[in-house]
Structure 1
């Protein structure tokens, strides 16, 4: 790790060379067999920046990073800062139509791909370069400019239509991310998720900004996480609850054979964490080491809490730590009493600049308040408890059913790896509760768990109107690499063009 400790406001463009000057041989980044010292990072960054400059990339331009390799993503992002551009990591798994829609929104000055074949397969007509062909040893002076934004993540949200969430912070060292995630330059940092997602990119770059030693997983593997923590004496790690479940499912003797004593903080976010799973991890590692962050990519406000706090406020996502959070009822009146649910609204603290702006979507605000669509309530101590997304809520015979609650109960079963619950049209009650279940160990064409067994398991956990009336078993993952489930897309896939439920191959009715 680097001995240079940059002050708030330090230009991100100058960080690789500053860390290289103070700690040239210290490891900046590793991923699989690739490893870069700060001296190597500074050289590689400048080479890519020169290549971008030669291709006309300049101040405020978007550069789309269509890269699989984490080392290349980080290096290219730093190169963007050196020419004043805005890096935009994108998933290499995007369908051509999805990618085309995103590129149409940003009109990037350059698309950087992993190789020449990826470049040839790009939709549309955009300036492109394979990353291994972009660098140059040209020693020409680069312009001294600061990018107007240090990241521009994409979001499809529940609508499925892409939008860009342009960060309002210029490419100067922000105080926010390091404080919110409690990251320091002394950390040995482990990222387990792909960097084209916002939280993985933001936390990884923040760790590097401060000179931490960063380890990236090439792909998630439950045992590899434990092995990397032990091998590199990791102090800070990131997981999503689906990953936590897979690690918990390892045989106990295997899971407990690794030395995790170096780990000071394990953070999770991106999806609700079932209470039983959180309790398992708190029991295993201790509440002081388990941390959760709740907030949107927009980052106008958010909550954090430790496992110790969670044990005293079971099910909470914490108290607001930055910005402001409040609740509004259906009549747009603010809810001030604890225990009453409402729509969760957020805004930046008074006097703060805007945290973001949308490209490709209209921001709907009331007096600076905007919502992610969540429903929640506060307790008497100011801790926030989430119910679900309003757009995902199912109304069965006039009674509201929250999919997250049903999914949490389903995943308590030891053979259920993941679950998604959606509402489907039903003539009598208006909607029916449909569960899509991914088992931990499915057979080739058979399932070890029957719908009757699963329904019996739910009997003591959910009231009758919340229990699924139909259960569908699938072998494909229900969540994306960030741990998010897109219920609206799952629902569309199970409806005909006329809005009538179709019959999945593996569906069982209660």
Structure 2
């Protein structure tokens, strides 16, 4: 299906609601808005297969812009507003975007990114309202399906565009694997009221919101996440489904008991989480609070495979991210050989969807094993029943005194300490061991940051994890460089320590 169908069948049904302003956009309005924009892209000379880039916060025009590109056969690139001007400029150039759409809020960042690129046309969403007002609100004559090209988070290096196969001339209402998945596994449909608390420029919020609209449901878009506000929106809009990251869970769990108990969450049927590993105690606390509605999946922007696990399964396989739903799981060693159950190695998918890294054949080749299986670079293991357990990113592995240490396990343990608001564990240069385990902590109360808390956290880690995995050093920051999806920019933390060592 496609929103255009729902515009004809249920024109007055809300396609989405902006949480802060309360602005509702019906399916009829979404259809007319995206049609006018599609006519505008053709007037600008954009043809099917051309690339357009969007640099906006969760703006009321974001979804119409996405659907306009989708129905005009364009490759659309959504760029994080949290990037530097240099990173935005890199993505614009690397993607080959001919048009960059910003907002009044991001216009200065767009100008910085566009410096030295006179051929790049730039508009703000606000300007487009006036520029498209007199254009037809009916479909363009040559409608065909476009495709997103989202960029990796860049947590370990420069972001890379993930290009998925796009067949020219594909009808705009051609089904997608994600729509089939959310319909069959999570029960999404026209009665779905979906809360999207994260930025739409990221893969999961964008793709899931568009999947809900393909099925005729309503998306409630939070302009910015706030824990108490999210609970209020579930109650007010009778939200049936929502997608979260572990950081959201942690912030909601830390609300006062009276606040948590003061909202009616009974409408919530499915709470999905992904994007970052969730500590077992955090997920258990959420299940104790919300009941058996919490589902988890593991996948990447590359969309090369997917695992999923429901609440009852998870209670029987705590810490797992599920069994393969798309592709076939393989765990391999450094030479690409397949490993047996419970052996730790590189996570790969066989017989999954194809992808390529835009303009980077070397990275594309490096993401494949000799058998042709693909990997996102994560390390983990499978049990005898095929359930996957994540260990960490291969690039984040700390080698200290010849021993491989995985930061995720340490982060998950330290995150349970009541004085820790957020934590990242990295390897810091060490003259004796090569690398030492370093924990960078965002304390709940900045006043407590200091030597006494550092000693307390090191002792806490030694008691729970043993001396090898316990950090030898704890530093403090007021705020960690974490994306709204929950992913940490660990490269920014590593850069604070490694350049000093040369």
**Alpha-carbon distance in structure 2 between the residues aligned to 1:446 and 1:333:** 46
One of 136, 143, 146 as aligned partner of 1:145: 143
Q: Can you list the C-alpha shifts for 1:352-378, whole angstroms capped at 9, x where unaligned?
A: xx4322213221223321211111111
Correspondence for 2:35: 46
C-alpha deviation, 1:162, in angstroms: 2.1
C-alpha spacing 1:239/1:203, structure 2 compared with 1 (3 Å): same
Distance 1:35 1:141 in 2: 22
2:296 maps to 292
* Backbone CA RMSD of aligned residues: 2.0
Rate the CA distance shift 1:137–1:245 in 2: closer, same or farther, 3 A. Answer: same
Question: Which residue, 251, 254, 260 being the options, matches 1:249?
Answer: 254
| 1:269-300 per-position Cα deviation (integer Å, ceiling 9, x unaligned) | 1110001101101111123x001110111112
The alignment partner of 2:251 has SS state of: helix
Residue 499 of structure 2 corresponds to residue 496 of structure 1: yes
Matched, 1:229 2:218: no
How far off is 1:137 after superposition?
2.1
- Could you tell me how far 1:449 is from its partner in structure 2? 6.8
The equivalent position to 1:240 in structure 2, one of 240, 245, 261, is: 245
Which 4+ stretches in 1 moved above 6 angstroms?
none
Deviation at 1:408? Answer: 0.6
Listed as ranges, the gaps of 5+ residues in structure 2 are: none
Q: 1:449 to 1:46 in 2, by over 3 A?
A: farther
Of Structure 1 and Structure 2, the greater helix share is in 2
Partner Cα separation in structure 1 for residue 44 and residue 291 of structure 2: 51
2:380 maps to: 376
Deviation, 1:497, is 5.3
Residue 403, structure 1, aligned to residue 407, structure 2: yes
User: In 2, distance between residues paired with 1:307 and 1:78?
Assistant: 33
Unaligned runs of 5+ in 1: 1-5, 7-14, 500-510
Map of 2:207 onto structure 1: 202
Q: C-alpha distance in 1, partners of 2:224/2:451?
A: 28
2 CA distance for matches of 1:449 and 1:246?
A: 25
TM-superposition CA deviations, 1:367-401 (whole Å, max 9, x none): 32121111111111111111111211112222221
**2:321 counterpart of 1:329:** no
Partner Cα separation in structure 2 for residue 138 and residue 154 of structure 1: 32
Asked whether 1:265 is paired with 2:270, we answer yes
User: CA shift at 1:18, angstroms?
Assistant: 2.1
Tell me how far apart the structure 2 counterparts of residues 222 and 141 of structure 1 sit (CA, whole Å).
Answer: 40
Aligned-partner Cα distance in 2 for 1:20–1:447: 58
Within the candidate set 126, 131, 138, 2:125 is matched to: 131
Cα pair 2:480 2:488 within 8 Å, conserved: no
Q: CA contact under 8 A between 1:292 and 1:317: conserved in structure 2?
A: yes
Residues 1:87 and 2:90 are matched in the alignment? no
8 Å CA contact 2:462, 2:469 repeated in 1: no
Worse-superposed segment, 28-37 or 108-117: 108-117
- Distance of 1:36 and 1:69 partners within structure 2: 14
Specify whether residues 179 and 169 from structure 1 end up closer, same or farther in structure 2 by C-alpha distance, changes over 3 A only. Answer: farther
- Alpha-carbon shift at residue 144 of structure 1 (Å): 1.9
The aligned residue for residue 101 of structure 1 is 90
- The answer to whether the 8 A contact 1:152-1:164 is kept is yes
- 1:268/1:117 Cα in 2 relative to 1: closer, same or farther (>3 Å)? closer
Could you tell me which residue of structure 2 aligns to residue 508 of structure 1?
Answer: none
Q: Which residue of 2 aligns with 1:502?
A: none
CA distance in structure 2 between the aligned counterparts of 1:122 and 1:402, rounded to whole angstroms: 36
Deviations 1:304-324 (A, max 9, x none): 001211110111110111111
Give 1:419's match in structure 2, choosing from 423, 432, 441. Answer: 423
In structure 2, C-alpha distance between the alignment counterparts of 1:18 and 1:175, rounded to whole Å: 16
TM-fit CA distance, 1:498? 4.3
| 1:155 is the counterpart of 2:155 | no
Check if 1:355 corresponds to 2:325: no
Q: Which residue of 1 aligns with 2:470?
A: 467
TM-score normalised per structure 2:
0.91
Q: Return the alpha-carbon distance in structure 1 between the equivalents of residues 15 and 42 of structure 2.
A: 24
* Change over 3 Å in CA distance of 1:248–1:447 after alignment to 2: farther
- Closer, same or farther in 2 for the Cα pair 1:60/1:472, shift >3 Å? same
Distance 2:379 2:275 in 1: 16
**Maintained 8 Å contact 2:327/2:351:** yes
Identify if the C-alpha distance between structure 1 residues 107 and 428 changes in structure 2 by more than 3 Å, giving closer, same or farther: same
Count residues in correspondence: 478
Maintained 8 Å contact 1:418/1:478: no
Flag the 1:415–1:449 CA change in 2: closer, same or farther, 3 A: farther
Indicate if the aligned counterparts of 1:188 and 1:212 stay in contact, CA closer than 8 A: yes
2: distance between equivalents of 1:381 and 1:101?
43
The CA deviation at 1:169 is 5.3
Corresponding residue number in structure 2 for 1:24: 11
CA distance in 2, matches of 1:145, 1:37: 21
